[in-house]
Chains A and B, each alone.
Chain A
């Protein structure tokens, strides 16, 4: 069981690595294998997880000393998302192979598979920290996939916008996770509900909640963060279908589901979800009604639907949340994920078949005559999107309405009105998508789009498969929902439409009525706007953000060497002075030093250091300056010899040597030092800084000499070195074993620095090439 969970997470990443070294053809085949394998591993787990409500916990220790785990968990909600990601993923891969053809590079497959792995890891994480890591990975993958066509300005700005919004949300999520972890004393989701009382008692709980909700809302494109999603439509159709309708945008909903058992008792939790969700529903719906690009229409309607999914968690009282699932949530997610990804894929096909996805052109043409199959499929998708009877979308809408009617909270009437209004707008854009696209007055022209023989059949087969559950669920909801999706819950068995003639039915009918009337009004009065003004506004926002960040960078990194030095040194001096002024250190008593160092030879290295330092200041030539500085450094190494620290000696000598070479290589490029051109005031200021810092360092050195360390770790680590780590060189044992994670972090910094050097070199080489 343990290995199965780990395999589900690991398989896509292994696949991604392998895809990079394969040809694009074989990488595509491999990409097909990955979700198939994940499905084969996870489908047999579904009955246990969903029916019997079993939870499998795989504890994986990571840094026990820091309370960090990498534990995995498979429960009903997680298993549902695994099936969703892998199931839709399988269809998407097959569609991509047919749709992208040669444009599907190995890199594309690698990023897609890595995304799949990250998404599976999010839904299987029990540790919030692990969840965060993979959360960020999906943001990165989304950025790369939206910006796949790096030459197109729309793709670039869309990718940057999505990255800025979801990346900022990710940081907020991290902050929230840390606060929550501090309150709860654990980062494991599974142990948090038991500590809910402790969390509720903390005054910081709402801070944690709000920060985490911002993370969830940015990912799931909730108002006011919803604007990145339409921009993400620069990605190719299968990417939009997979990331930006079926899976990644649902990660925020998933997180809310995970949080609901923890924060359900908080008075802020439900009102926020309900308000934000319903606002998003209306804003997204209105934007979709106004959209003229079919893909943008779908994107805005995705935003609207995600609002419904969020609002569902805001309706039910905490007692009705079972394992992070509320009634109808899985139905709503399944319904939306399937029909919306199918519609995205169908619009991708439509663009190939008709040569456009611009509604202002398509509404004049009668495409149904030429493409009846695609027309029927889009029709089914549009029916379920609009919440018409006989499909799953109808059920989903009714459950939402029923929940709102049953709920007892202030403003319930307004919420019901918002739901009806949003539902009516869904009817409007669903009709736009189907009727206006296929039933125009004139026959479509022959010269636009590809002939049918050049379009792969998979472009219609995959969406048809994705739409199949909708038809089944519309006819036999009792079987699909009661036995498969949410076992143990009660659903009407057949033909969900006529199951009641009550308030809900009236509301449903009036939603449809208002929607149809709205559609007729749209046909009569809608005009194509000259410019999509909403997007311009958001782009302005994004560029303001970028501008602010570069202004900040300019202020913090003025470029002037002296400014850097002043800021860094003054900060260091102030920090150490603050520590000194605290004055809570116990004084070192008498001769407690156990160094037993023979300091007879000390004057020699001391003289070398002093001479090096003084000469470095006095000589005028740069190269001489650094050589004298190196001499001082070698003098320090002699001191380490006296203190019998051979590792330090070796390191000091080598670092001194290598940096001497580096400095020589750098300085030989600089011009000779000219006469001092600083003004008198500046020189006095520099002198003041230098003196203050020198004095500060001296005081610091002296103070650390006469005060004992707060918690000396040396003796303990010396004692543990051999028995625990089987090493006699305690310095190395600390580096590779006791503090191995620190070392790993340090070499990562080194690696990043090396990339920086290479990047700067490339930039300089380009600049030189342009000069020449």
Chain B
């Protein structure tokens, strides 16, 4: 796919899409979004970029994103284990408020769990897509 327009669009879309994904991830607990959707947005943008801007023969290099799958699984399971260490059931989430009132910053382990989901989705989606994008069809 060698198109000037696509190349430029893909190049521009990637950072915006990643930013948007982070936004979706952060707001997920209170508004539409979350780790799964954010992961899909990121994967779609990365794949678009790869298809448009990376020459097919270079795509053959094995993507290292599989690592993010493991890290994601560990992060998600780890947030659950934190609760166990505190004597609560597995995957019990804890919440903290920094400050008070309207401007309070709300933090919780649900976000960490969602980050785990995000990493797994990104890793496995890109791995699967890259398997088929690695070379030109015959």
Interface residues of A (CB under 8 A from B): 60-64, 70, 646-647, 649-651, 654-655, 657-658, 661-662, 665-666, 668-669, 725-729, 731-733, 735-737, 740-741, 743-744, 747-748, 750-751, 753-755, 757-758, 760-761
Inter-chain contacts of A731 with B (CB < 8 A):
32, 34
A726 and B132 form a contact (CB under 8 A): no
Given contact pairs A655-B40, A754-B123, a sample of 7 additional A-B residue pairs in the complex whose CB atoms are under 8 Å apart = A61-B90, A647-B34, A669-B138, A736-B114, A736-B117, A743-B117, A750-B69
Inter-chain contacts of A751 with B (CB < 8 A):
69-70, 72-73, 120, 123-124
Identity of the chain A residue whose Cβ is nearest the Cβ of B69 in the assembled complex: A751
B53 in the interface, Cβ–Cβ < 8 Å?
A: no
Given contacts A727-B110, A740-B91, A757-B127, is CB(A665)–CB(B29) below 8 Å?
no
B131 and A735 form a contact (CB under 8 A): no
In the complex, 22 of the A-B residue pairs with CB atoms within 8 angstroms, ordered by the A residue number, are A61-B87, A61-B90, A62-B90, A650-B32, A654-B37, A654-B44, A658-B43, A658-B47, A661-B48, A665-B129, A665-B132, A666-B132, A669-B132, A727-B110, A728-B29, A735-B36, A736-B110, A736-B114, A737-B93, A741-B91, A747-B72, A758-B127
Q: Among the interface residues B30, B47, B106, which one has the most CB atoms of the partner chain A within 10 A?
A: B30
| CB interface residues, B 6-23, toward A, < 8 Å | none
Inter-chain contacts of B51 with A (CB < 8 A):
661
B67 → chain A closest CB, angstroms? 11
| Cβ contact of B37, chosen from A650, A737, A758, cutoff 8 A | A650
B84 and A62 form a contact (CB under 8 A): yes
| CA of A731 to CA of B90, assembled, Å | 20
Q: Among the interface residues A649, A669, A760, which one has the most CB atoms of the partner chain B within 10 A?
A: A669
B124 → chain A closest CB, angstroms? 4
Given contacts A666-B132, A741-B90, is CB(A736)–CB(B113) below 8 Å?
yes
B31 in the interface, Cβ–Cβ < 8 Å?
A: yes
Task: Pick the 4 closest A-B CB pairs, nearest first.
Answer: A754-B124, A654-B40, A646-B32, A665-B132
Given contacts A740-B91, A757-B127, is CB(A748)–CB(B73) below 8 Å?
yes
Total residue contacts A-B, CB cutoff 8 A: 154
| Cβ contact of A732, chosen from B29, B44, B88, B132, cutoff 8 A | B29
Inter-chain contacts of A732 with B (CB < 8 A):
28-29, 33-34, 110, 114
Interface of B is mostly: helix
A655 → chain B closest CB, angstroms? 7
Inter-chain contacts of A658 with B (CB < 8 A):
40, 43-44, 47, 125, 129
| Cβ contact of A726, chosen from B24, B77, B108, B125, cutoff 8 A | B108
Inter-chain contacts of B34 with A (CB < 8 A):
647, 729, 731-732, 735-736
| CA of A732 to CA of B35, assembled, Å | 9
| CA of A64 to CA of B117, assembled, Å | 24
Inter-chain contacts of B31 with A (CB < 8 A):
728-729
Inter-chain contacts of B84 with A (CB < 8 A):
60-62, 70
| CA of A665 to CA of B121, assembled, Å | 19
Interface residues of B (CB under 8 A from A): 24, 28-37, 40-41, 43-44, 47-48, 51, 62, 66, 69-70, 72-73, 76-77, 80, 84, 87-91, 93, 95, 106, 108, 110, 113-114, 116-117, 120-121, 123-125, 127-129, 131-134, 137-138
B47 → chain A closest CB, angstroms? 6
| CA of A758 to CA of B63, assembled, Å | 10
B88 and A61 form a contact (CB under 8 A): yes
Identity of the chain B residue whose Cβ is nearest the Cβ of A670 in the assembled complex: B137
Inter-chain contacts of B121 with A (CB < 8 A):
747, 750
A754 and B110 form a contact (CB under 8 A): no
| CA of A729 to CA of B129, assembled, Å | 30
B62 → chain A closest CB, angstroms? 8
Given contacts A728-B30, A753-B124, is CB(A744)–CB(B138) below 8 Å?
no
B90 and A63 form a contact (CB under 8 A): yes
Inter-chain contacts of B132 with A (CB < 8 A):
662, 665-666, 669
| CA of A733 to CA of B127, assembled, Å | 28
B133 → chain A closest CB, angstroms? 5
Given contacts A64-B89, A740-B91, is CB(A747)–CB(B73) below 8 Å?
yes
Inter-chain contacts of B88 with A (CB < 8 A):
61
Identity of the chain A residue whose Cβ is nearest the Cβ of B30 in the assembled complex: A728
B52 → chain A closest CB, angstroms? 12
B137 and A654 form a contact (CB under 8 A): no
Given contacts A668-B137, A732-B28, A736-B113, is CB(A754)–CB(B47) below 8 Å?
no
Inter-chain contacts of A665 with B (CB < 8 A):
129, 132-133
| CA of A733 to CA of B34, assembled, Å | 10
B131 and A757 form a contact (CB under 8 A): yes
| Cβ contact of A761, chosen from B73, B113, B117, B131, cutoff 8 A | B131
| CA of A13 to CA of B34, assembled, Å | 32
Q: Among the interface residues B34, B73, B84, B134, which one has the most CB atoms of the partner chain A within 10 A?
A: B34
Inter-chain contacts of A747 with B (CB < 8 A):
72-73, 76, 116-117, 120-121
Given contacts A669-B132, A740-B91, A747-B76, is CB(A754)–CB(B40) below 8 Å?
no
B128 and A662 form a contact (CB under 8 A): yes
Given contacts A650-B32, A744-B77, is CB(A736)–CB(B89) below 8 Å?
no
Identity of the chain A residue whose Cβ is nearest the Cβ of B31 in the assembled complex: A729
B29 and A727 form a contact (CB under 8 A): yes
Inter-chain contacts of B28 with A (CB < 8 A):
729, 732, 736
Inter-chain contacts of B48 with A (CB < 8 A):
661
| CA of A732 to CA of B30, assembled, Å | 8
Inter-chain contacts of A725 with B (CB < 8 A):
93, 110
A754 and B66 form a contact (CB under 8 A): yes
B128 and A754 form a contact (CB under 8 A): yes
A188 → chain B closest CB, angstroms? 15
| Cβ contact of A647, chosen from B37, B77, B87, B95, cutoff 8 A | B37
Inter-chain contacts of B131 with A (CB < 8 A):
757-758, 760-761
| CA of A760 to CA of B127, assembled, Å | 12
B24 → chain A closest CB, angstroms? 8
B16 → chain A closest CB, angstroms? 15
Q: Among the interface residues A651, A669, A736, which one has the most CB atoms of the partner chain B within 10 A?
A: A736
Inter-chain contacts of A70 with B (CB < 8 A):
84, 90
